[in-house]
Amino acid sequence: MGELVVDKHVKYILSVEKRKDSFESVVLEHLRMNGAYWGLATLDILGKLDALDSNEVIEWIMKCQHESGGFAGNIGHDPHMLYTLSAVQVLALFDKLNVLDADKVANYISGLQNEDGSFSGDEWGEVDSRFSYLAICCLSILHRLDKINVEKAVNYIASCKNVDGGFGCTPGGESHAGQIFCCLGALAITGSLHHVDKDLLGWWLCERQVKSGGLNGRPEKLPDVCYSWWVLSSLIMIDRVHWINKDKLVKFILNCQDTENGGISDRPEDAVDVYHTYFGVAGLSLLEYPGLKAIDPAHALPVDVVNRIFFQK
């Protein structure tokens, strides 16, 4: 199994940032903001955030903000809720939320709430329970939850609950671990977890663990390192994480490492990417792997960052 090759992962993340003309970089150009969050959050969990120039990153982030208050995935792209949360999270990592006009960002988000309490991802109107999480998490970090109708938002999320205890992207949508994380995260932040049948959902989530120790996102699917975050954080939020075999999951994640060049893949022997590297390391943090900073399961930020946001005067 081996150990977490921290220095190799740091080197890999820094190399991804520098290779702007690589195939991976070109095809992911439109969501570079998400990539920045995945990479920088990984560095912070590893205790290595000081390995890059924060001023350069912050300057780039602010160039991605539109007049509407929302952020794009990169300079010259359209704003979306997905990139707006990532931008705010990265600024939080660097303790630089003060560079934002919080009300401007909050007005952009609140303007995307629909009459039924749901949220659109951007001006084009797609509705998804993921966007409810993005809105609530972002406004929570900015101390601006009062800008939206929280009761309607919570009721919409509750309407996405299924008979198996899980949640879908819209009412009646299939339960999926990624959607479950989003709905639980939003309910946890708003103090509304009473809407969840914890035993029923806990059973559905713990059944996501397969023989290899990895977790999948839906029944009969292959395991994937990213669900080490989506499933595990959900189990922690409902106090049912003891229902899975943690040691086998740790082994699965570590077996997905590229021990020579750094990075983590979705499954052993596959190609690595920054997305799975983040969710693998974040999963290990939730599993209390030695030497890693603790991460908050609802806000998806290190606990010390969350404490700084909510408890620092």
Q: Considering only CA atoms, which of 247, 173, 143, 162 is closest in space to residue 201?
A: 162
Each residue of 206-255: pLDDT tens digit? 999 999 999 999 999 999 999 999 999 999 999 999 999 999 999 999 99
Residues 74-85, mean pLDDT to the nearest whole number:
96
291: alpha, beta or left, given left = phi > 0 and alpha = psi -120 to 50?
left
In angstroms, the CA 157 to CA 147 distance is 18
Residue 263: band (very low, low, confident or very high) from pLDDT cuts 50, 70, 90: very high
**Other C-beta atoms within 10 Å of 169: how many?**
20
Average pLDDT of every residue of the chain: 95
Taking the alpha carbons at both ends of the chain, their separation in whole angstroms is 44
Each residue of 120-136: pLDDT tens digit? 999 999 999 999 999 99
Look at 272 and 19; give whichever has higher pLDDT: 272
**Other C-beta atoms within 10 Å of 215: how many?**
29
* Separation in Å, CA 230 to CA 76, 205, 225: 31, 10, 10
Residue 17: band (very low, low, confident or very high) from pLDDT cuts 50, 70, 90: confident
Residues 176-182, mean pLDDT to the nearest whole number:
98
222: alpha, beta or left, given left = phi > 0 and alpha = psi -120 to 50?
beta
DSSP lists the bridge partners of residue 19 as none
* Separation in Å, CA 229 to CA 64, 79, 253, 275: 27, 26, 11, 11
Q: Position 176: which residue type?
A: H
Residues with Cβ within 8 Å of residue 271, at least 6 apart in sequence: 265
Residue linked to tokens 């669900």: 227
Task: Give the predicted TM-score (pTM) of the model.
Answer: 0.96
DSSP string, the chain: -----HHHHHHHHHHHHH-TTSHHHHHTGGGHHHHHHHHHHHHHHTT-GGGS-HHHHHHHHHHTB-TTS-BBSSTTS-B-HHHHHHHHHHHHHTT-GGGS-HHHHHHHHHTTB-TTS-BBSSTT--B-HHHHHHHHHHHHHTT-GGGS-HHHHHHHHHHTB-TTS-B-SSTTPPP-HHHHHHHHHHHHHTT-GGGS-HHHHHHHHHTTB-TTS-B-SSTTPPP-TTHHHHHHHHHHHTT-GGGS-HHHHHHHHHHTB-TTT--EESSTTSPEEHHHHHHHHHHHHHTT-TTPPPB-TTT-SBHHHHHHHHH--
Distance of CA 194 to the CA centre of its chain: 23
pLDDT of 20 strictly over 90: no
Can you give the pLDDT at residue 36? 93
